[in-house]
Structure 1
Amino acid sequence: MNHRRLGASGLYVSEIAFGNWITHGAQVDNDTAHACVRAALDAGITTFDTADVYSDTKAEAVLSQALRGVRRESIELCTKVYHPTGAGPNDRGLSRKHIMEACHASLHRLQTDYIDVYYAHRFDPSVPLEETFLAFSDLVRQGKVLYVGVSEWTAEQITKGAALAREMKVPLISSQPQYSMLWRVIDAEVVPTCEREGIGQVVWSPLAQGILSGKYAPDQPIPQGSRASTAAGAPFFDRLVGQWMRKEVLFAVAQLSAVAQEIGLTLPQLAIAWVLQHPHVSSAIIGASKPEQVHENVKAAGVRLDPEVMNQIDQLLDGLIERDPAKTG
């Protein structure tokens, strides 16, 4: 497993990170979750990503249990704040009250004294940005947070946040956007903004919500047990169907599978390797519902794709790639 610096900071992260959105505390039992985390550790993954809102706060606790006995200094533990974690009006957002209380709750669930990277899970237009960064600044000064990140912020929002971070001496070092062969909305604005500000990308959904797993074939039923089948009827599933479960997309993905086979990779390995070719990407987050998926997907680490393969991917996906920066967030 290779490690890369996160932005212009001194923090190194594994180029493949393990995330537990959807899975821990929901789709898989705790024994399976622990086996997946152990597989990640065995593969050399040191960066673990979660959020307080995942599985209604259960995911943080499951991850903590799975990491029990691991030397804390040997891993990078990242979580997030913004989405509702309770019924009250202050149980959400980026107010000082919610950030401070949510951080303490995450520390308790994660059974740790500090968070390596604490993300603002979304931008909160209802709260003055100065209030948000003052709370982050205090957490950094207290040693409860080492670095700060943002997730799905636009270039304009990142620019404003970075200015406040400099003023308040807050180490804002990471952006966590969705990024894949099919979803490239950060390329036009977010990436150049982050490069100017010294912020690295830790990207989520390199498999485009599972479309690039190769599980979904054109004119075939949705496989039982797949993410699309287990999310049926949920807003997530509706977006997935509307965006990617189209015949032209699935035909293109089938052709990508052939490209992967020609160079000795699986389609998920090709998709993750594609993300990691980009110098602005510090780490790609993978999830897993069984340890075998971890073992297979980490083989994308260190793979170098020839320019001809990168061009072939672009040609096959021509007209299907989402590039509109307005869809950030």
Structure 2
Amino acid sequence: MEYRTLGRSGAVVSAQALGTMTFGAEADEATSGTILSAFIDAGGTFIDTADVYSSGVSEEIIGRWLAKHPTEAQQIVLATKGRFPMGTGPNDVGLSRRHLRAALDDSLARLQVDHIDLYQMHAWDAMTPVDETLRFLDDAVTAGKISYYGFSNFLGWQLTKAVHVAAASGFTAPVTLQPQYNLLVRDIEHEVVPAALDAGIGLLPWSPLAGGWLSGKYERDVAPTGSTRLGENPERGMEAWKARNAAERTWRVLDAVTEIADAHTASASQVSLAWLGAQPAVTSVILGARTVEQLTDNMAAVDLDLSADELQRLTDASAPQMDDYPYGTAGVQQRNRRIEGGR
């Protein structure tokens, strides 16, 4: 296993994190415990969950496992999130001090710990002033309830605003951002990645296999069946599957992934994860698994050494469409013409 610092902090985490959204849903408690043990045995140290995963059950499963494995628990860097509703009241949601105080205490209770290493704001809250949220997080660090904090699903300007408000107010600085990022979803490279690099924020990509697409399970124009998430639950996102299936870019990426995987006698998942782990600002790639077999295959990506040419081929094949102003070539030319013309 490879290890990296957690964003700009001095804490060290494994370059792969165990995502636990499946715990209590697609993986029962026994299976979840087996997955946790396999992850730790393979050198993993970073576990990510959230209060809303299975309505708190994911945190409860992790808490019971930690209580039964005190030695392993000492090596784990534990992350969870708050923001979304865990009740029906008007203050049971958001990033207000009132909601976060209750959400953090409830997460601590479910996880059976007195301290969380990384507490993440699950999404932006336009209703709450950002300084209120940051003050709460700074107070939580001072109180010893959390070591660090970060964000999830923030836009570039939202991340930058939070970073600068924290600095101007003398609050503890954020260290991470958890975005969706993979070979098929690279739009965060327009604004979010530059903002993270500018602030020294570490990225923790979720959905690194694009909902199974980058595992090579799907075939062109063949509706998913069998042991895939869409095959077992077609209502989960069949319209999105149709759109991705119809995009030539999807198959261009998958062709490149498959050919490189064959050259290394590796899986498509391993190639996709290896590319993502090599991207700027990425601290740890979040692996979601329903079985130990899936986890084992995915964790082998850290040992896959892709050449510079192979990484570039994947980057070129998956390049996001950026023709329009202000990002694409045509947009830059248009902007330059306006500047040269004094407009």
Q: How high is the TM-score relative to the length of structure 2?
A: 0.88
Q: How many residues align?
A: 323
Letter in 1 for 2:151: V
Contact 2:221 2:245 in 1 (8 A): no
1:26 maps to what in 2?
A: 25
Please give the per-residue CA displacement for 1:223-263, whole angstroms capped at 9, x wherever unaligned. 223111334224xx146325423363553324522221112
Distance across 2 between alignment mates of 1:159 and 1:282? 18
Contact 2:16 2:299 in 1 (8 A): yes
Give the CA deviation at 1:120.
0.5
1:64 maps to what in 2?
A: 63
Distance across 1 between alignment mates of 2:9 and 2:54? 31
Letter in 1 for 2:64: Q
Contact 1:211 1:244 in 2 (8 A): no
Counterparts in 2 of 1:98 and 1:222: CA distance versus 1, 3 Å: same
Give the CA deviation at 1:203.
1.0
2:340 maps to what in 1?
A: none
Equivalent of residue 200 in structure 1, options 199, 202, 219: 202
2:286 maps to what in 1?
A: 285
2:6 maps to what in 1?
A: 6
The answer to whether structure 1 residue 100 and structure 2 residue 101 are counterparts is: yes
Letter in 1 for 2:89: G
Distance across 1 between alignment mates of 2:163 and 2:315? 32
Counterparts in 2 of 1:322 and 1:17: CA distance versus 1, 3 Å: farther
Name the SS for the 1:52 alignment partner: coil
Contact 1:118 1:148 in 2 (8 A): yes
Name the SS for the 1:143 alignment partner: coil
2:265 maps to what in 1?
A: 264
Distance across 1 between alignment mates of 2:46 and 2:323? 28
Name the SS for the 1:35 alignment partner: helix
Letter in 2 for 1:171: A
1:52 maps to what in 2?
A: 51
Counterparts in 2 of 1:97 and 1:224: CA distance versus 1, 3 Å: same
Give the CA deviation at 1:312.
2.2
Distance across 1 between alignment mates of 2:266 and 2:249? 20
**Match runs of 1:124-273 below 5 Å:** 124-166=125-167, 167-234=169-236, 237-238=237-238, 240-246=240-246, 248=248, 251-252=251-252, 253-273=254-274
Distance across 2 between alignment mates of 1:279 and 1:11? 19
Contact 1:277 1:305 in 2 (8 A): no
Q: How high is the TM-score relative to the length of structure 1?
A: 0.91
Distance across 1 between alignment mates of 2:326 and 2:125? 18
Give the CA deviation at 1:100.
0.4
Letter in 2 for 1:65: R
Moved more, 258-267 or 280-289: 258-267
Distance across 1 between alignment mates of 2:151 and 2:230? 27
Letter in 2 for 1:263: H
Contact 2:149 2:174 in 1 (8 A): yes
Whichever of the two has the greater Rg, that structure is 2
Give the CA deviation at 1:296.
1.3
Please give the per-residue CA displacement for 1:274-326, whole angstroms capped at 9, x wherever unaligned. 01112310100001111111111111114332121123223444567999999
Give the CA deviation at 1:44.
0.5
Distance across 1 between alignment mates of 2:283 and 2:317? 26
Contact 2:187 2:320 in 1 (8 A): no
Give the CA deviation at 1:62.
1.4
For structure 2, which runs of at least 5 residues remain unmatched after alignment?
A: 328-343
Give the CA deviation at 1:73.
2.9
Aligned alpha-carbon RMSD (Å): 2.3
Considering Cα pairs closer than 8 Å and 6+ residues apart, tell me whether 1 or 2 has the greater RCO.
1
For structure 1, which runs of at least 5 residues remain unmatched after alignment?
A: none
Distance across 1 between alignment mates of 2:88 and 2:220? 42
Counterparts in 2 of 1:244 and 1:69: CA distance versus 1, 3 Å: same
Counterparts in 2 of 1:318 and 1:281: CA distance versus 1, 3 Å: closer
Give the CA deviation at 1:165.
2.1
Please give the per-residue CA displacement for 1:89-133, whole angstroms capped at 9, x wherever unaligned. 111110111100000000001111111110010000011111111
Contact 2:256 2:313 in 1 (8 A): no
Name the SS for the 1:45 alignment partner: coil
**Match runs of 1:77-88 below 5 Å:** 77-88=78-89
Give the CA deviation at 1:194.
1.6
Contact 1:269 1:297 in 2 (8 A): yes
The share of aligned pairs that are identical, in percent, is: 35
Moved more, 247-256 or 42-51: 247-256
Q: If each structure's helix is expressed as a fraction of its own residues, which one has the higher value?
A: 2
